[in-house]
Amino acid sequence: MKYYPQSVCQLVFLSLCCVLITVRESRSAFVPGRCLCPVSIPGVRGQLKELKVYPTSPSCDKFTVIVTLKSTNEQICLKPDGPMGKQLIRCWRRSQNMGRDTKMCLKRLRRRRGGQRQKPQQRSRSHKKKASSPNSH
């Protein structure tokens, strides 16, 4: 079998290109276990001081949501698929698109809770009206 120098050079060049492409692609491949939050919880109570959201990346295949509690300065990881995580991610995306500060997301969250507390008061007013209507007969 006779080798031609030109064929050998082409084969070496082709092999080198394949190796370089493989190495380049493997750097951006997903490596499991490199997320910032190995354990996360669905929600947290209390006032929030700060919100950090990290989108999916080559090192982590899911969103990472980290909130800081105002009272203790403790950083807590939230589940991105939990109700609180979904709401904060949605607000974070909106604030990124509009160029706003992410602290607005924390204020909106508190206002909504206050609105839920007022519902029972509205119901009690309607009961008073019903009670006063039989007296007017």
**What's the pLDDT score for residue 119?**
47
The band of 102, judged by pLDDT with boundaries at 50, 70 and 90, is confident
Mean pLDDT comparison of 5-9, 10-14, 29-33, 61-65, highest-scoring range: 61-65
3-state secondary structure of 81: coil
DSSP conformation letters of 25-91:
HHHTS--TT--S-SS-BS---S-EEEEEEE--BTTBSS-EEEEEETTT--EEEE-TTSHHHHHHHHH
CA distance 76 to 83: 15
Sole residue written with tokens 């109570």: 45
12 vs 56, higher pLDDT: 56
46 sits in the region (left: phi over 0; alpha: psi -120 to 50; else beta) called left
Sole residue written with tokens 């019903």: 130
CA distance 27 to 29: 6
Domain spans, the chain: 33-108
Residue pLDDT, tens place only, 26-42: 544 445 557 898 899 99
pTM above 0.75, yes or no: no
Residue among 88, 95, 91 at smallest CA distance from 43: 88
Looking at 3.60.110.10, 2.40.50.40, 2.160.10.10, 3.10.20.440, the CATH number of the domain 33-108 comes to 2.40.50.40
Rounded to 10 degrees, the C-alpha dihedral 51/54/55/56 comes to -140
C-alpha distances in Å from residue 8, one per residue of 2, 22, 37, 51, 68: 11, 21, 50, 58, 61
Beta carbons within 8 Å of 29's beta carbon, 6+ residues apart? 58
